[in-house]
């Protein structure tokens, strides 16, 4: 492919995989990058320069927990200087008023704080960390110093019935937006899937709650809500399409089309140590492999939604079908769709297994695809 590609809209800067929390649905790869490999300040500022020069609009500082980096203030300041809109995606537990003010003074535009539940005990159990109260405190501080706040609620069978409380909490905190996100099943979450998949009834109830709240809270709270893939009829438009809208940089400098892309084996990703962002965006073999519509097999190839959802999520296609180059099984037109739906129903109705918490160095083997032919006999 040698057509000049539109530049991405936003940079996802994963500053570190370090995080005091251990959420069992963490989107970080099973093989977490250690702190010794993290990019230094100079490299990050160079990346921000390049991102701005490419025409990107926003930078999202995330992780892991981005506030573990002592140079976060410096990076926010630099990003602002080169004209990027800055957003901090944080668990909040390491922040205090002084640091928040310092970040705001350097141009931080927005903070997203994640919550594991609305009930303290359950929230702390899910996070594997006693942090719920601190999160509430930090969310209030964000508003106190006048920054806009998004409440990020990752929902699943063990907290989805609290969505009404989540909505209330967001309003009470003065958030302008809530993201009711479903667990996405790759990485740690795939290992814990049976502990997370909500039942179909839970989901229908929640969807109703959200629809009602959208009307009631119009103009007060923006509500982002997506139905979990396994119960959907059509896949979500993952990242606005593979390598079309976003560029994700891992703590060690690997350039990825999305944070989960490394869950697909045999895709080689380039590093910021070797090439410029622009070069990687245009030339990365991994980016070009599933970019656009040329790679698509049937049923996507002749589908009129192919430029809407771009065939769904590549990571999910790999995780479920064993082939990243096939239709996302979340799509009704996938031959695997019914099996996936059945699997979700089955897992959701059984008792929830114990969590496998996210930890550095506890993983043995990556998961084999669920229905793919590559699955070893067990």
- Contact positions toward ligand SF4, by CB under 6 A? 19, 21-23, 26, 28, 63-65, 91, 114, 234-235, 299-300, 303, 305-306, 309, 311-312, 327-328, 331, 333, 358
Picking from 129, 184, 131, the residue whose alpha carbon sits closest to that of residue 155 is 184
Residue 156 CB, shortest distance to ligand SF4, in Å, is 12
**318 vs 264: CA distance, rounded Å:** 6
94 near 130, Cβ under 8 Å? no
Closest to another protein by CB, 56 or 209: 56
Which entry of ligand SF4, another protein, none binds 19, CB below 5 to 8 A by partner kind?
A: ligand SF4
Which entry of ligand SF4, another protein, none binds 177, CB below 5 to 8 A by partner kind?
A: another protein
117 near 159, Cβ under 8 Å? yes
Which entry of another protein, ligand SF4, none binds 356, CB below 5 to 8 A by partner kind?
A: none
Backbone angles phi, psi at 217, to 5 degrees: -105, 20
Closest to another protein by CB, 57 or 134: 57
Closest to ligand SF4 by CB, 302 or 365: 302
Closest to ligand SF4 by CB, 281 or 329: 329
Burial string for 95-114 (b: 16+ CB within 10 Å, else e) reads: beeeebeebbebbbbbbbbb
Backbone angles phi, psi at 140, to 5 degrees: -65, -40
**214 vs 281: CA distance, rounded Å:** 37
Which entry of another protein, ligand SF4, none binds 331, CB below 5 to 8 A by partner kind?
A: ligand SF4
Strands 149-155 and 58-63: unpaired
Which entry of ligand SF4, another protein, none binds 120, CB below 5 to 8 A by partner kind?
A: none
Which entry of another protein, ligand SF4, none binds 299, CB below 5 to 8 A by partner kind?
A: ligand SF4
Contacting residues toward another protein, per CB under 8 A: 7, 9-10, 52-55, 57-58, 60, 83, 85, 87, 109-110, 112, 146-148, 150, 171, 174, 176-177, 179, 218-222
DSSP state of 263: G
In which residue are the tokens 């939604």 written?
305
**7 vs 10: CA distance, rounded Å:** 9
Residue 169 CB, shortest distance to another protein, in Å, is 14
Phi-psi region of 186 (alpha: psi -120 to 50; beta: other; left: phi over 0): beta
Closest to another protein by CB, 53 or 352: 53
Residue 209 CB, shortest distance to another protein, in Å, is 19
**85 vs 175: CA distance, rounded Å:** 19
Extract the runs of DSSP E, i.e. beta strands, from 174-309: 177-182, 222-225, 246-249, 255-256
Closest to another protein by CB, 220 or 308: 220
Residue 376 CB, shortest distance to another protein, in Å, is 39
Which entry of another protein, ligand SF4, none binds 55, CB below 5 to 8 A by partner kind?
A: another protein
Closest to another protein by CB, 147 or 333: 147
User: Is the peptide bond between 341 and the residue preceding it cis, with omega within 30 degrees of 0?
Assistant: no
């Amino acid at each position: 492919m040698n057509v000049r590609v539109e530049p991405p809209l936003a940079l996802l800067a994963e500053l570190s995989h370090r995080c005091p929390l251990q959420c069992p649905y963490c989107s970080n790869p099973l093989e977490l990058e250690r702190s010794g490999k993290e990019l230094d300040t100079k490299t990050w500022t160079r990346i921000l320069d390049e991102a701005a020069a490419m025409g990107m609009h926003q930078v999202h500082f995330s992780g892991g927990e981005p506030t573990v980096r002592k140079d976060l203030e410096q990076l926010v300041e630099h990003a602002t200087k080169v004209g990027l809109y800055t957003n901090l995606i944080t668990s909040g537990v390491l922040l205090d008023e002084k640091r928040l003010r310092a970040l705001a003074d350097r141009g931080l535009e927005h903070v997203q704080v994640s919550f594991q539940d609305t009930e303290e005990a359950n929230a702390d159990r899910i996070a594997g960390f006693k942090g719920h109260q601190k999160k509430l405190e930090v969310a209030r501080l964000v508003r106190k110093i006048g920054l806009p706040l998004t409440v990020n609620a990752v929902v699943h069978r063990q907290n989805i019935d609290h969505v009404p409380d989540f909505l209330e909490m967001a309003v009470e905190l003065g958030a302008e937006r809530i993201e009711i996100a479903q667990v996405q099943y790759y990485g740690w979450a795939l290992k814990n899937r049976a502990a997370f998949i909500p039942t179909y009834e839970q989901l229908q109830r929640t969807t109703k709650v959200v629809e009602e709240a959208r009307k009631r809270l119009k103009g007060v709270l923006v509500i982002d809500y997506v139905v979990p893939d396994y119960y959907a009829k059509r896949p979500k438009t993952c990242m606005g399409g593979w390598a079309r809208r976003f560029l994700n940089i891992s703590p060690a400098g690997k350039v990825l089309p999305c944070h989960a892309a490394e869950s697909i084996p045999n895709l080689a990703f380039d590093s910021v140590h070797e090439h410029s962002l622009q070069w990687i965006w245009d030339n990365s073999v991994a980016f070009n492999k599933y970019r656009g519509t040329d790679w698509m097999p049937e049923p996507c190839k002749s589908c009129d939604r192919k430029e809407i959802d771009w065939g769904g999520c590549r990571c999910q296609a790999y995780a479920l079908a064993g082939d990243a180059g096939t239709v996302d099984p979340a799509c009704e037109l996938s031959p695997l769709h019914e099996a996936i739906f059945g699997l979700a129903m089955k897992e959701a109705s059984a008792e929830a297994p114990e969590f496998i918490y996210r930890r550095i160095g506890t993983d043995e083997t990556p998961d084999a695809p669920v229905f793919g032919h590559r699955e070893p006999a067990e």
